[in-house]
Structure 1
């Protein structure tokens, strides 16, 4: 029986943070350990070009995401790991799909709608600050997914719509030209769908509330101590549900540690002590990956080699699928 294909990517729009790890990298690494599926992992650098238009930053962020994947245990000999811009077939499919994607579908995309609403509130032209990359972002993401016959796409809750759009685009193509594009399914971990940041909101670079994944120990401790908590006295019981600190803790702690912390919440524990223990488990689990991460960044040529080798494998798959699509449309 053919193994299902699992595809996931991360945009290099900033330094890797804990939200990236918990919400995307960790679940994807767990899937990579499952030999029952074919893992495809990529750095979505063309997607990042919408917002990162400084050449040096663009390169640095791309290398940082690559180094993060590898430092955290992704084995490029067991999965396909590549940089999006090294697979030109993606852009060719993007144009083909653009020609049969209704503009109305793009008008309903969350990112575009949010920008229009922001402009309307500020009294600007509704398309102020909107480039065509942002507007057609879902079509490029659909191309990423559909080109590799992806069965499952692990995403955060805010990305579910993009997988649904990919399905809509594929269904439209199949109705028009015949069945050639596989309809993907999104995979989401409900408990870690929204990772809290320093202020309790979703951890996001746009909110400035992130905790860098590989920050050094002292800085990590200071950031964790800044996490917003309520005024519940130490001796009073606390709820683990909705607790930013507990959410972070359970992603790095062992099962017995999690149960122990759950019991401490039930009996009563001071937030200062919780923060101390959160720091200790996160720092413990990231100490070795942190060392490897900086080693990889010292050797970007080696990173390029890993990514180019993965791109060759990715292109061998992409070329076959693109050929089928072009035959269907008469090219």
Structure 2
């Protein structure tokens, strides 16, 4: 699950994944005789996170990770990007310690393999920066319980863990305090670095609203000459919602008991072929894009369009007079080609344990320095320093 965490923005590629708006810093030209002075663009601090709960699937890749790379590559020299592997968030549901440890390193290898550059972005493990939990506690102490009760996170996460649909009725059986206060920790993740922009999907909008509320409440409760926390803006970008290959009424998920329902980042070409071959479609002749009445077919068209960077309606026109066999064949080829390079790089990086540890250590040090600057002021304002 991604924790991914405006006026108008600097253009980003059409393959960016979330509904978006852009933030262009205002440029003011002042003329004094023949000299032109330009106000420099405003710095953006962009933060997002991903849980280390297994190898990402195609939905994660097309839904968020490609977007991270585009944000990094399109960032201006004044921008700062932080990408966090959020182990504490993973613990809100039961985890096996050995598997969690391995998953943390695997996720770091995945991020590097897809093109996240530790020289351009700060890449780190959340749990290596203890100030995350320190700020979370401070924010817990100013968060009304009513706001948390209105959050839908714990319901959707419990439903996913039990392989239930998102709209299934859920009681509080299995709800722990960590999961209940999960949105507060997410707010701490964002505010600790005074992030100005946060990439979010539709399911995270509610969390960012809470984050903005808490930032404003802290600033008003603990006043000083300047406000400490900016109110972060949603960095929305066009989203590709990838559905289960076996049940196209629900999202592709790692928790589904059917492994053929998802394509993993590490799947071999033959595994990709076999999974797409058995993908659920329908018995209607021809290929049309109709997400409501033909969700399986529409899902394959969405995947193909995301892989090629085309508009889904343009892709659909290519299949006039063709059948599902032709569509599945082209989707298979496109997915294999898209994942081939990153998968090979992942396999190479996974064996370089020392390098991964070095990247994690350096990322944590850079993130920790920024986090401590914020927490020193937080402690002073609340009376703990």
The normalised TM-score by structure 1 is: 0.91
Q: Does 1:95 align with 2:147?
A: no
| C-alpha spacing 1:328/1:281, structure 2 compared with 1 (3 Å) | same
Q: Does 1:196 align with 2:243?
A: yes
Residue 316 of structure 2, aligned match among 256, 262, 267: 262
Shift of 1:154: 0.8
Instruction: In structure 1, list runs of 5 or more residues that go unmatched.
Output: none
Residue 65 of structure 2, aligned match among 25, 47, 51: 25
Residues 243-254 of structure 1 mapped to structure 2, 5 A cutoff: 243-254=298-309
The residue that corresponds to 1:325 in the other structure is 378
How many pairs are equivalent? 324
Residues 1-331 of structure 1 mapped to structure 2, 5 A cutoff: 1-36=41-76, 37-114=79-156, 126-178=171-223, 179-192=227-240, 194-198=241-245, 199-200=247-248, 201-208=250-257, 209-233=261-285, 236-239=286-289, 243-255=298-310, 261-265=315-319, 267-331=320-384
For residue 198 of structure 2, give the secondary structure of its aligned residue in structure 1. strand
| C-alpha spacing 1:244/1:214, structure 2 compared with 1 (3 Å) | same
Instruction: In structure 2, list runs of 5 or more residues that go unmatched.
Output: 1-40
Structure 2 contact 68–116 (Cα < 8 Å) conserved: no
Instruction: Give, in whole Å, the separation in 2 of the partners of 1:146 and 1:186.
Output: 13
Structure 2 contact 82–122 (Cα < 8 Å) conserved: yes
Instruction: Give, in whole Å, the separation in 1 of the partners of 2:169 and 2:231.
Output: 40
Shift of 1:319: 0.9
Give CA-to-partner distance per residue, 1:184-225, whole Å, 9 cap, x none.
112233442x22121212112233432111211111111112
Shift of 1:113: 4.4
For residue 41 of structure 1, give the secondary structure of its aligned residue in structure 2. strand
Instruction: Give, in whole Å, the separation in 1 of the partners of 2:356 and 2:158.
Output: 38
| C-alpha spacing 1:40/1:13, structure 2 compared with 1 (3 Å) | same
| C-alpha spacing 1:98/1:248, structure 2 compared with 1 (3 Å) | same
Shift of 1:230: 1.8
Structure that is richer in helix per residue: 1
Give CA-to-partner distance per residue, 1:105-141, whole Å, 9 cap, x none.
111110234579999x9999x4321111101100110
Greater shift, 26-35 or 194-203, is seen at: 194-203
Give CA-to-partner distance per residue, 1:244-301, whole Å, 9 cap, x none.
011111121154x978633223x23211111111111111121111111111111223
Instruction: Give, in whole Å, the separation in 2 of the partners of 1:300 and 1:308.
Output: 12
Structure 2 contact 50–84 (Cα < 8 Å) conserved: yes
Structure 2 contact 304–335 (Cα < 8 Å) conserved: yes
For residue 127 of structure 2, give the secondary structure of its aligned residue in structure 1. helix
